[in-house]
Amino acid sequence: MGSVSSADELEPFERYSTLSADESESESWRGCDRGGEDVSTPSSSPVVRSCFSGESSVRAPIAVTLPTPRCGNVLAVPQIGKLTDTAESSETEGVSEIDMMKELFTKLLLGEDFSGRGKGVCTALAISNAITNLSATVFGEVWKLEPLPQKKKSIWQREMEWLLCVSDLIIELVPLKQESPGGGTLEVMVTRPRADLYTNLPALKKLDRMLMCILDTFHDSEFYYVDHGVSLDRSDDLQMCCSAKSSGRYSSAQQEKRRPLPSPKVPKKGLSGDTRKKLQQYKECANQILKASIAINKNALAEMEVPNAYLDCLPKSGKACLGETIYRYMTENKFYPELLLDYLEVSSDCTTSEIADRIESAAQIWRQKSLRNESRYAKDSKSKWGGKVKGIVGDSGKSKLLAQRAEILLKNLQLRFPGLPQTALDMNKVQYNKDVGHSILESYSRAMESLAFKVMARIDDLLYVDDVTKQSTLSTEDLPKPICSDLLSNRTSSRHHRI
């Protein structure tokens, strides 16, 4: 087997940190993300135009003139039947693609409610759920470092193109200076994509392409995977498995009992140095993609408004959220978040998520209290109640300080446990969000974050197996020669000498 990839395949990943707005401007917004192909907008796409304009999706028959070459004295007759079958299959694929797109957009327009009772969700949540479900379908079983199947890849690219075409209509007006024919300068308003979409959406598309390229590099590798007790990278084992299944030796119950996760296998002497070096580079690249996706996701969530349904469910005080112990530590004169986390001894994921939700709820309570006090101060500052205003200012400053401490504690908790799921506030923001642009950025970045994390986890598993294999090989080589074998050889030599 060869190594993971050639050196030329690493070039797209050496510039992964240059995801800036300047670079995103060079990519076309009308179609910039499918391997260099131009993705047209919904108004210009023939598939979309035929769908929304009511035109017939069946193409007119095409007259094909075929040459009649001669092979010696025999006339080579073209196989018309095969050409007709190919044309009919492509025609069927085009019609089915249009039907799939109609079904997708119908589901979005109805808010995932086909009953017609008006119980559907808003458009932003429908698009978010569509992207989340699509990513779970395509990337839900990335348990191996191998190229994504072409069918899944085409499904992901096609449906993401349909879902992201909505962002072409989310625009803003910006001033632009133009020279008038008379020689003067005029300032006119022109349209362009909204600032957050203009910057982050091309960056997410680039992260998407980079992750696909990382998976595509594992097409011919030194390692392989064992699944269901069968070596998936060996043709003999696969033939044995297929023959066993065809003969009925493996029942469905036995297959259900033997469904472990695929485990990586490396050669007896471990991976080569070149392969291991490239795996480390791919892991670092996936780590940078993960960080960029998390940053975009946090920015999108920060732009969303806090829903009133979440605020109505909060307790009346931050002390009721945090409890007596955490509240006492946070209200002291000197605040040390790391010492507080060490005191809590957070171990399980369930406990960590619960503490994160409580801290974030307390931060929202204190932030809302600070905003109310500031608004009251603005009203009462014009009145004659001077003494009351001083008390309001003190309460506002204390609430703002506690809110800042709660945010710092939450950030430290997330840094210590980077694999935490979304908090209750984030889930409520996604559920009650009305902005389609924010919904697209949040769900798309979350999908890229999940895929990058899975790629890193698979690389870590492979490197761990390689380390264990090399250690076992070294330990067997370093073992001393058994004493019994030496004695046996000496006795045999002396016996031959006597004879």
The CA distance from 377 to 388, in Å, is: 9
* CA gap 418, 349 in Å, rounded: 11
C-alpha–C-alpha distance, residues 403 and 187, integer Å: 44
Please provide the distance, in angstroms rounded to a whole number, between the alpha carbons at the two ends of the chain.
52
Q: What are phi and psi of 240, to 5 degrees?
A: -65, -40
Tokens standing for residue 447: 């999908």
**Would you say the CATH fold of 308-432 matches that of 7-54+86-168+201-223+266-299+442-475?**
yes
Element (H, E) at 12: none
b or e along 362-386 (b: 16 or more beta carbons within 10 Å of the residue's beta carbon)? bbbbbbebbeebbebbeeeeeeeee
- Using CA atoms, how far apart are residues 209 and 211, in angstroms rounded to an integer? 6
Task: Give the integer Cα–Cα distance in Å for 187 and 175.
Answer: 6
Alpha helices in 165-234 (DSSP H): 195-216
Domain ranges within the chain, ordered by starting residue: 7-54+86-168+201-223+266-299+442-475, 308-432
| The listed CATH number (3.40.30.10, 1.10.260.40, 3.20.20.60, 1.20.58.2010) that belongs to domain 7-54+86-168+201-223+266-299+442-475 | 1.20.58.2010
Distance (Å, rounded) from C-alpha 346 to C-alpha 354? 10
Q: What is the four-CA torsion angle of 284, 288, 291, 297, rounded to 10 degrees?
A: -130
Alpha-carbon distances, residue 67 vs 79, 88, 120, 141, 474 (angstroms):
12, 21, 57, 48, 67
CA–centroid distance for 495 within its chain:
73
Kind and range of the H or E run holding 176: strand 171-179
Q: Are strands 171-179 and 224-227 parallel, antiparallel or unpaired?
A: unpaired
The two structure tokens encoding residue 184: 């003067």
Question: 275 near 4, Cβ under 8 Å?
Answer: yes
DSSP conformation class of 229: T
d(CA 107, CA 94): 20
Cβ-in-10-Å burial (0-12, 13-18, 19+) of 406 comes to buried
Nearest to 335 by CA among 274, 408, 279: 408
What tokens does 493 get?
């030599």
CATH-assigned architecture of domain 308-432: Up-down Bundle (1.20)
- pLDDT given at position 215: 95
Residue spans of alpha helices (H) in 14-147? 21-25, 46-52, 80-109, 123-139
Which pLDDT belongs to residue 479? Answer: 55
Q: Indicate the burial class of 433 (C-beta count within 10 angstroms; 0-12, 13-18, 19 or more).
A: buried
Whole-angstrom distance, CA of residue 234 vs CA of residue 237: 6
Cα Dmax for the chain = 125
pLDDT of residue 110: 83
The pTM for the full model equals 0.69
- The whole-number mean pLDDT for each consecutive block of 10 residues of the chain, a chain of 499 residues, reads 45 44 39 39 36 37 36 35 43 70 83 79 93 94 91 94 92 90 88 94 97 93 76 40 37 42 88 92 96 95 94 90 89 89 76 91 92 73 52 67 93 86 93 95 96 95 92 71 47 44
* Sign of the torsion angle spanned by Cα atoms 105, 108, 112, 114: negative
Nearest Cα residue to 433 out of 307, 289, 309, 263: 307
Q: 223: which 2 tokens? A: 């390692």
Phi-psi region of 66 (alpha: psi -120 to 50; beta: other; left: phi over 0): beta
Whether the CB-CB separation of 461 and 147 falls below 8 Å is answered with no
Give the count of beta carbons closer than 10 Å to the beta carbon of residue 452: 24
Q: Are the CB atoms for 363 and 403 separated by under 8 Å?
A: yes
What is the structure's pLDDT at 363? 93
